[in-house]
């Protein structure tokens, strides 16, 4: 790795790119030719176990379904919407769309009819795969709203089998010509950003973007995903495949012959983890937060809370000592600390690993910020979490921590082929072959989003002297108080969100005399917390309950310790309701729409600045 300008730019050399006239399916075919018998997917066998799907068997099904799409009238460059839960059928259709020369348009299954209407109308989709009858009805409603015609078919085993029957008369040569027609510069997928403001824009993810991820991200993170290990590598995919991170990782896994199983619902997640036993996992921070808070709550209920708290503190201490040694800042864990960790491994840590299937070597966290403390907790328990950073527009992670180059509290180094630059105002700029091809149908927005070859992320951050990226927050979220003090809300909010009672925190204070915070409670955790104290509380009662407020104040005090007095949170207001996609306050990727929430609870914001009686 090298630095062109220390502290303001960092990059990592590209591993490679395929010829410009090829596309990502050429990489998939080349990988399959090397090991046609490799198990690349797994299906439930109905008896609590899994059946392997060989690479050659998978591609036979992909070709058959691609012919079915062509028989339905799908031509080169046509858009096909994928509207369903994470599943094997989604994976087949994703490749089949490309093997038919078309472009996929992923849609979150939680999307409303109006959201689907925007996506169908904007993308020009001609066909939609739908996971359930309810999604089929929503698609038809959306098509009517958008005044467009979109045929549908079931994203089910039966639906794929019917497509394969319909395509039996399509010649192999015709299907192969359609597959091979696209080049690296051509669109492979149009992914709609789940933006926190305005209508979602369609980010054009090209064949070159996916190919770059396959060749460069996979090589850069090879140790994390187990590529090249003697033991087979496998992962359980439970994030929505409509999210570009999950989508890109699934394509990377197929190219890397890393076996993928799918968990379409969190209701079966623990059983799926136990039966499939993945060697690594991809998740978002909220998953890790929920796992840890659940373990802590269970320990308190069983009367072993003191043991768990000691085990947790030991995990953090051990991980911090290891990090100090890795970066030449300390000797590493002492003999006594190592012995204490071994004791807690038998009592506590092993159970945590078993809950994840017992074989997980690494976890990858993305999509939003992960608490450094939580990262230390899991690493100390024997489940290292490597955090990365990327956006829809960067296809896959643009930066990531990897073994041997890992700094907790940062989102790592630029992946192979990527460059990160910090602009004068602190905005993070990213360039490289994973950066998207612009916004569909929006040339002005596309032009405005670039500074030369660098994409303007809208995020603020800094690079340390070794090239590790640290995220400060969103550029548009910076608060300027009445006293002229710049306050970055994200770090404060992240610390408050670690508390088990907190679902969301929103720091406010623009043009105000001091900083305040709105807190949204986690309803499930509130119920559990109250039961531990032999109490029962509604959200409205909890919003004014002295015990709840005292517990939340502890989290606020912890956050305030990290900033100056002028940046510290002086007052909080607890909302008496939850926030959801349906309420209009969360995006489809579960990010908080800060501006919308602040606008909708303006009376609560005003209450923060009213004189106390």
Q: Quick one: three-class SS letters along 507-558?
A: EECCCCCCEEEEEEECHHHHHHHHHHCCCCCCHHHHCCCHHHHHHHHHHHHH
Does the pLDDT at position 197 exceed 80?
no
Query: Which of these ranges, 126-140, 156-170, 281-295, 554-568, has the smallest mean pLDDT?
Result: 281-295
Are 303 and 425 within one domain?
A: yes
Whether residue 213 is contained in a domain is answered as: no
Interhelix angle 88-99/244-255, nearest 10 degrees: 80
pTM of the model: 0.87
Q: Place 108 in a pLDDT band, splitting at 50, 70 and 90.
A: very high
Are 108 and 248 within one domain?
A: yes
At residue 331, what are phi and psi to the nearest 5 degrees? Answer: -80, -10
Q: Place 488 in a pLDDT band, splitting at 50, 70 and 90.
A: confident
Q: Place 240 in a pLDDT band, splitting at 50, 70 and 90.
A: very high
- Final residue of a structural domain among 279, 298, 314: 279
| CATH number, position 48 | 3.40.50.12780
Are 178 and 256 within one domain?
A: yes
Strands (E), 211-346: 234-237, 259-262, 280-283
Whether residue 204 is contained in a domain is answered as: no
Does the pLDDT at position 343 exceed 70?
yes
Whether residue 195 is contained in a domain is answered as: no
Cα distance between residue 374 and residue 380, in whole Å: 10
Which residues, 6 or more positions from 109, have their beta carbon under 8 angstroms from its beta carbon? 83, 84, 85, 131, 135, 240, 242
Whether residue 218 is contained in a domain is answered as: no
Whether residue 464 is contained in a domain is answered as: yes
The C-alpha torsion from 94 through 211 and 101 to 81, rounded to 10°, is: 30
- Final residue of a structural domain among 451, 475, 499: 475
Angle at the Cα of 258 from the Cα atoms of 256 and 262, rounded to 5 degrees? 130
Collapsing DSSP to helix, strand or coil, 295 comes out as helix
Whether residue 206 is contained in a domain is answered as: no
Are 517 and 548 within one domain?
A: yes
DSSP 8-state code for residue 418: -
Q: Tokens for 403, please give them.
A: 């073994």
Are 309 and 444 within one domain?
A: yes
Whether residue 188 is contained in a domain is answered as: no
| Residue 180 exposed, middle or buried by CB count within 10 Å (0-12, 13-18, 19+) | middle
| CATH number, position 494 | 3.30.300.30
Are 433 and 528 within one domain?
A: no
Are 560 and 592 within one domain?
A: yes
- Final residue of a structural domain among 279, 312, 344: 279
Collapsing DSSP to helix, strand or coil, 414 comes out as strand
pLDDT of residue 5: 44
Quote the domain boundaries for residue 366.
Answer: 283-358+361-475
Query: Which of these ranges, 216-225, 294-303, 352-361, 372-381, has the smallest mean pLDDT?
Result: 294-303
- Residue pLDDT, tens place only, 61-106: 999 999 999 999 999 999 999 999 999 999 999 999 999 999 999 9
Q: Place 227 in a pLDDT band, splitting at 50, 70 and 90.
A: confident
Which residues, 6 or more positions from 204, have their beta carbon under 8 angstroms from its beta carbon? 187, 190, 436, 437, 438, 439, 440
Interhelix angle 88-99/55-71, nearest 10 degrees: 60
Q: Tokens for 484, please give them.
A: 């002229």
Count of domains for the chain: 3
Which residues, 6 or more positions from 575, have their beta carbon under 8 angstroms from its beta carbon? 518, 519, 520, 521, 539, 543, 601, 604
Q: Place 196 in a pLDDT band, splitting at 50, 70 and 90.
A: low
Are 392 and 533 within one domain?
A: no
Are 551 and 580 within one domain?
A: yes
Q: What is the mean pLDDT of residues 449-472?
A: 94
Q: Place 613 in a pLDDT band, splitting at 50, 70 and 90.
A: low
Are 573 and 504 within one domain?
A: yes
Are 256 and 372 within one domain?
A: no
Whether residue 201 is contained in a domain is answered as: no
Are 554 and 603 within one domain?
A: yes
Whether 412 and 399 have beta carbons less than 8 Å apart is answered as yes
566 vs 30, which has greater pLDDT? 30
pLDDT of residue 190: 98
């Amino acid at each position: 790795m090298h630095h062109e300008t220390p502290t303001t730019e960092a990059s990592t050399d590209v591993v490679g790119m395929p010829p410009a006239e090829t596309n990502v399916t050429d990489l998939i075919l080349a990988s399959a030719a090397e090991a046609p018998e490799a198990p690349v997917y797994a299906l439930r066998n109905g008896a609590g176990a899994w059946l392997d799907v060989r690479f050659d068997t998978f591609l036979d099904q992909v070709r058959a379904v691609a012919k079915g799409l062509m028989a339905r009238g799908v031509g080169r460059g046509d858009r096909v919407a994928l509207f369903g839960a994470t599943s094997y059928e989604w994976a087949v259709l994703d490749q089949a769309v490309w093997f038919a020369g078309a472009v996929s348009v992923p849609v979150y299954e939680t999307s409303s009819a109006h959201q689907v209407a925007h996506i169908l109308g904007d993308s020009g989709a001609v066909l939609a795969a739908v996971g359930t009858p309810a999604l089929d009805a929503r698609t038809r409603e959306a098509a009517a709203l958008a005044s467009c015609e979109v045929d549908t078919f079931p994203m089910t085993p039966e639906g794929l089998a019917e497509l394969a029957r319909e395509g039996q008369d399509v010649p192999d040569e015709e299907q192969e010509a359609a597959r091979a027609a696209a080049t690296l510069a051509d669109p492979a997928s149009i992914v709609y950003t789940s933006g926190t403001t305005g209508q979602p824009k369609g980010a054009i993810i090209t064949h070159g973007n996916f190919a770059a991820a396959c060749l460069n991200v996979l090589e850069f993170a090879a140790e994390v995903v187990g590529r090249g290990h003697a033991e087979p590598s496998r992962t359980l995919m439970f994030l929505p495949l409509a999210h570009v991170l999950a989508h890109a990782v699934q394509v990377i896994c197929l190219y890397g012959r890393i076996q993928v199983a799918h968990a379409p619902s969190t209701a079966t997640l623990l059983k799926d983890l136990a039966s499939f036993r993945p060697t690594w996992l991809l998740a978002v921070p909220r998953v890790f937060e929920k796992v840890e808070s659940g373990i802590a709550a269970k320990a308190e209920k069983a009367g072993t809370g003191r043991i768990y708290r000691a085990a947790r503190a030991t995990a953090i201490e051990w991980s911090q000592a290891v990090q100090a040694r890795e970066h030449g800042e300390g000797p590493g864990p002492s003999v006594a600390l190592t012995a204490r960790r071994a004791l807690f491994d038998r009592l506590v840590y092993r159970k945590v690993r078993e809950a994840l299937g017992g074989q997980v070597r690494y976890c990858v966290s993305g999509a939003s910020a992960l608490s450094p403390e939580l990262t230390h907790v899991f690493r100390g328990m024997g489940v290292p979490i490597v955090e990365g950073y990327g956006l829809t527009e960067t296809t896959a992670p643009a930066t990531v921590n990897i073994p041997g180059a890992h700094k907790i509290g940062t989102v790592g180094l630029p992946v192979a082929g990527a460059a990160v630059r910090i602009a004068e105002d602190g905005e993070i700029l990213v360039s490289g072959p994973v950066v998207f091809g612009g916004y569909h149908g929006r040339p002005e927005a596309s032009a405005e989003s670039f500074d030369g070859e660098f994409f303007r992320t809208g995020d603020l951050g800094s690079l340390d002297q070794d090239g590790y990226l640290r995220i400060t927050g969103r550029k548009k979220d910076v608060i300027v108080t009445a006293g002229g003090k710049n306050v970055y809300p994200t770090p404060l909010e992240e610390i408050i969100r670690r508390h088990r009672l907190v679902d969301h925190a929103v720091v406010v204070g623009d043009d105000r005399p001091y900083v305040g915070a709105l807190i949204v409670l986690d309803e499930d955790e509130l119920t559990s917390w109250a039961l531990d104290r032999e109490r029962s509380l509604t959200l409205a009662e909890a919003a004014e309950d002295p015990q709840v407020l005292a517990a939340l104040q502890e989290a606020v005090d912890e956050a305030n310790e990290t900033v100056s007095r002028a940046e510290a949170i002086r007052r909080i207001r607890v909302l008496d309701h939850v926030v959801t996609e349906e309420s209009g306050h969360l995006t489809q990727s579960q990010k908080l729409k800060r501006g919308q929430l602040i606008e909708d609870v303006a009376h609560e914001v005003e209450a923060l600045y009213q004189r106390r009686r």
